[in-house]
Structure 1
Amino acid sequence: MTAIHILSGGAAQGLVAELSGALEARTGYGIEGEFGAVGLMADKLRGGTSADLVILTRALVTRLADEGLVDPTSIVDVGVVETALAVRAGDPEVSVKTESDLRDALCAADAIFVPDTKASTAGIHVAKVLDQLGIAGEVASRLKIFPNGATAMRQLAASEATRPIGCTQATEIIATSGIVLSGSLPPDYALATMYTAGVTTCAAHATAARVLIELLAGADQRELRRRVGFAG
């Protein structure tokens, strides 16, 4: 089967998987994708990796369009994803309403599972939050950093730590078996990120890529987006 190739942030992996059957029914195309830290995915496109479609943060897709790598007429917002906390299924859920709650929860954890703190949306935010809370040094030895949120959450699910916690995009938490979405970050530390799709200027299957964008962002998929962790 011919497939369109996607470079995407991990936040959209669950949604793309849910829509693969609909794309095949409408176009006859399958989907091949690379999902990971948004900065790394953008750099792959810049480095010449073949792709028909990108799903990254709005800021990155706009930048790639300015660089001539994404067709600006194809750009469509998919939805907003928040960065949230996760715990293993069966562990007590963590509720953080205030800065103090968040500091206490992170300091109490004996392992903190997060995505790449230099290239991923959530990981960069976690590093910033730890600095703002003044606990970056205190918890550094407990940070478990993985290339992307999906891997970090799978490792959280398998962790044998006593009090582990995770922090990444809500969509990646919801899509991972063995963990549960524990709660949002408090307002002063929250992050809600708009994810946006666009067809690349080197797309070999641009028409099918545009159909996938219609599916990703269409009004008739609003409930699906909500279920997998998108808002807006």
Structure 2
Amino acid sequence: MDDRLVRSVGVELSLVTVDLAIFTIRGGTLMILLVERGEEPFLGRRALPGGRVRSGETLDEGARRELMEETGIDGARLHLEQLGAYGDPGRDPRGRVVTVAYLALGPDLPEPVGGTDAAQAHWIPVGDVLEGRASLAFDHERILSDALERIRGKLEYTTVAAAFCPEPFTLTELRTVYEVVWGRGLDPSNFRRKVTGAKGFVEPTGDQRAQTAGRPAALYRRGDATLLSPPLLRSAP
């Protein structure tokens, strides 16, 4: 739309950005990837990685580019999906900016490296943000909270938990994903029965991994299913 026409009809132009809530598990803790902003607004504040979508770029392309530029992490390694759009008028002091948020999951991701308009990039525990020990710029705390709830729900009905596990993995490692994301312990025997009974969730490799104590643990890889049948519900006793 021509700028003169915009002014004549009083239409407000909006910028479109992407923001990424990227999760991994390190040392038994759910971590979120944050950058330290290297420019205004919110200079020096922590934020989710992201930025403006370029002309001719798709949203997915913009998300992967911003992730690489600001953190040095290749989005092709991740389970990446759109979370939703956020466009409250006051979310950005520069004016009306609509962002499309993404969530991403990856197994034991590397240390990020800050770049472009991100002075630094680092992993911090999700609990630090949710419990008020770390504050984020813009409305990124809301985006983080929404992304976490999306993941918690997806663990019930999909096989996405395996995206946190480098292959091959043990059922104990897979159970740890559920316990860390849901924030509660699970009965090992009951979990094993449900996982191995869900068609296409995991497949045995036929190999084992020696343990520091007890018998060797069987190793598994991801199956070809995307939905869990039956589901693994948080509310189950």
| TM-score, normalising length: structure 2 | 0.31
| TM-score, normalising length: structure 1 | 0.31
Structure with the higher fraction of residues in helix conformation: 1
Instruction: Considering Cα pairs closer than 8 Å and 6+ residues apart, tell me whether 1 or 2 has the greater RCO.
Output: 1
